[in-house]
Amino acid sequence: MLRYLIDAFSGPAAGFMYALLAVMAFALAVMVERAAMLLRFRADGASVVKRVEDGLRSGTLPALGTTPLEEVVAAGLAQPTAELGWDAMSAAAVEAEDRIRHRIPYLSAVASIATMLGLFGTVYGLIVAFGALGDVAAAQRAAALSEGSSTAMATTAFGLFVAIPALAAHSFLDGQARRLLAAIEAVAGRVHVARKAAERA
C-alpha cells in the first residue's frame, strides 16, 4: 500500500497528495510542539501547596517556577488578601488555559481538512473515470478509467492516513490539557483555603 501511495504523487492525484502531505507536516509540527509544551508545563501540585503552606507559616513566600500552575499560584500570592488572591488566580487561570490549549484545536481542524481533501480527490478521480466513458478509443478509455480509479482510492486512503492520527493526537493532547487545568483549579482552591486559614490565625 505504501508503494501505491508513493506512486500516486506522480499521477493525476499529485496535487491532492502534496496538499495532504503539507497538512500532515503541519499536524506533526503541532503534535510535537504541544506534546513538548505540555510536558514542560507539568508541575507537582502537592509540592507547590506544601511550599505555600510552609511559607505562610514562616511568613516567607516560596519561590515558584514558570509553569502555568505555579504562575497562577504566584499571581494569587502577590495579592495582600486571600479574596483578592482568589480573584487574581481566577484571572491568571484564564491566561493559563489559553497557553495550555494553544494550537490543540488545530489538530481537529486538520482531521476534517484531510478528510475533505481526500473526498475532493475521490470526486475528482470519479470524474476522470466517468469522463473516460465518452467518445474515446478503447485503449484510452481503459487508461483513463485506471487513472481515475487510482486517484480516487489514493486520495481517500492518504486523507484517512492523515486524519486518523491527527484526531487521535487531538483527543490525547486535549485530555492532557484538561488534566492540567483540573490540577491548576484544585491547587488554586487549596492555596486559597490555606491563605484564609493563615489570615484567621
- State the average pLDDT for the chain: 89
Q: What whole-number distance in Å separates Cα of residue 48 and Cα of residue 60?
A: 14
Residues of the chain with pLDDT under 70: 1-2, 4, 132-139, 141-144, 201
The pLDDT value recorded for residue 189 is: 95
Q: So what's the pLDDT on residue 132?
A: 65
**What cell numbers appear for 34 in the block?**
504541544
Neighbours of 58 (CB within 10 A): 9
Cα gap 103→32, rounded to integer Å: 11
Per-residue pLDDT at 138: 65
| Residue-range definition of the domain harbouring residue 46 | 2-200
Q: How many domains does the chain have?
A: 1
pTM, two decimals, is 0.86
Which residue bears the cell 469522463? 131
R_g (Cα) of the chain, nearest Å:
27
